[in-house]
Amino acid sequence: MIDPGRQFPVHNNLFHLNHAAVGPWPQVTADAVKAFAEENAQQGSLRYLQWMETEQALRDKAQRLFNAPSPDDVALVKNTSEGLSLVAYGLDWQAGDNVVGIRQEFPSNRFVWSSLASKGVEFRQLDLTACEGEPEDALLALCDGRTRLLSISAVQYADGLRMDLAKVGSFCREHGILFCVDAIQQLGAIPFDVQAIKADFATADGHKWMLAPEGLGLFYVRRAILEQLSLTQYGWHMAAGMTDYTVEACVPYPHARRFECGSPNMLGVHALNASLGLLLEVGMDEVWRQLSTKMTGLVEGLQALAGLEILSDLRPQRRSGIVTFRPVRGDVDALFRHLQGNGVFCAPRGGGIRLSPHFHTPQEQLDTVLQLIGEYRPVKP
């Protein structure tokens, strides 16, 4: 088993409760990047064939993380936005089609669908603040015979609301609607299973809960609907015979690698491979068990403090690695500055302060953060 104290030296410098933004690298990832940089400096690309083996090892880990049928069902992309754009601009839209989503989504999962208005596609957005009952029921009620795709985040970034993906996926499959999941706030924190939730597409960058650098993400596409996505970019790396540089016509891979048009981000590959290796060594069930236990204690600690309002849905099935709260009286910004000034790395989101620890966060740090929150006193007007 890993030693969190050795693997996460970030805890020696600050209270890192901001994994929902950009997570810290484990030591194993920093070591992999250093070794790769030194190898480049000393030997150039002499060992490129070994680098390709690391790339394949990353694909194998990505398959396990998604529970995809094959490593070839996952493409390596630059980020979540690129994965979503591959879907948005790969599908053959007809004027009058619509996409269903959520108004409070992170911009990446709104802008791309709104941009389809130029093709006559309507983007129907559920307003969570006006939603009565369960959000999934309200989402599905927006669908009709012209709904081509439903796209939501597995976990909402602002307050950590965890969606019932299996319910949504089953409805979509039954009604011939494509189901796209922005998994960036779940992958690496909570077990994720594209087959169980009947996802057609799922994508996530590695820099949050997967504990890797920005600039390399994962894109899953269900093999049965692969041909529904037209290719929007071309290059040598997407060709099935990519090592034959004299070939005249591009014949794309018959799987997800067709969406990787050019040279891979080998530095990112080595880093993400190391980070996922650590997570999978712990095991995603165990990662979530430890994180869930810490979130329960954090929520209970916040509830015990007077003058606070928790904005997140606290039902067990809705919880994630995110909890958002605010002072009932006083200034959210002032409390945020108070925490920042005491070494607490968190974020103002969704009208409150968002805390997002991970499985490796020391319990004593969470206790100290709760103490700091309890010490805050709003300035009287």
Structure-block tokens of residue 133: 């009952």
Structure-block tokens of residue 141: 């009620």
CA distance 10 to 206: 18
How confident is the model over 203-239, as pLDDT tens digits?
A: 999 999 999 999 999 999 999 999 999 999 999 899 9
Structural contact between residues 357 and 366, judged by C-beta atoms closer than 8 angstroms: yes
Residue 381's pLDDT is: 46
Residue 367's pLDDT is: 97
Exposure letters 33-55 (e unless 16+ CB within 10 A, then b): beebeebeeeeeeeeeeebeebb
Give the domains, in start order, of the chain with CATH numbers.
4-17+284-375 (3.90.1150.10), 29-281 (3.40.640.10)
Residue 184 has pLDDT above 90, yes or no: yes
**Model confidence, pTM:** 0.96
CA distance 210 to 228: 29
CA distance 336 to 89: 39
How confident is the model over 30-77, as pLDDT tens digits?
A: 999 999 999 999 999 999 999 999 999 999 999 999 999 999 999 999
How confident is the model over 94-111, as pLDDT tens digits?
A: 999 999 999 999 999 999
- Nearest alpha-carbon partner for 217 in 228, 232, 207: 207
Residue 152 has pLDDT above 60, yes or no: yes
* Cβ-based neighbour number of residue 263 at 10 Å: 9
Residue 378 has pLDDT above 70, yes or no: no
Structural contact between residues 17 and 228, judged by C-beta atoms closer than 8 angstroms: no
The amino acid present at 322, given as its one-letter code, is I
178: which strand partners?
149
Structural contact between residues 127 and 156, judged by C-beta atoms closer than 8 angstroms: no
Residue 244 has pLDDT above 90, yes or no: no
- Number of alpha helices (DSSP H) and beta strands (DSSP E) in the chain: 11, 13
What does the pLDDT average to over 26-31?
98
Ramachandran bin of 133, using left for φ above 0, alpha for ψ from -120 to 50, beta for the remaining angles: left
- Confidence grade of residue 352 (pLDDT, cut at 50, 70, 90): very high
How confident is the model over 154-176, as pLDDT tens digits?
A: 999 999 999 999 999 999 999 99
What does the pLDDT average to over 334-341?
96
- The strand pair at 347-349 and 308-310 is best described as unpaired
- Confidence grade of residue 247 (pLDDT, cut at 50, 70, 90): confident
What does the pLDDT average to over 184-205?
98
Residue 243's pLDDT is: 85
What does the pLDDT average to over 290-302?
97
Residue 379's pLDDT is: 56
- Nearest alpha-carbon partner for 330 in 306, 302, 299: 306
- Greater confidence (242 vs 24) lies with 24
Residue 200 has pLDDT above 60, yes or no: yes
* Cβ-based neighbour number of residue 252 at 10 Å: 16
Residue 248's pLDDT is: 85
CA distance 203 to 239: 22
Structure-block tokens of residue 374: 């309890």
Residue 16 has pLDDT above 90, yes or no: yes
What does the pLDDT average to over 75-86?
98
Sheet containing strand 74-77, edge to edge, reads 74-77, 217-221, 201-205, 178-182, 147-153, 98-102, 122-126
What does the pLDDT average to over 186-209?
98
**How high is the mean pLDDT of the chain?**
96
CA distance 100 to 197: 17
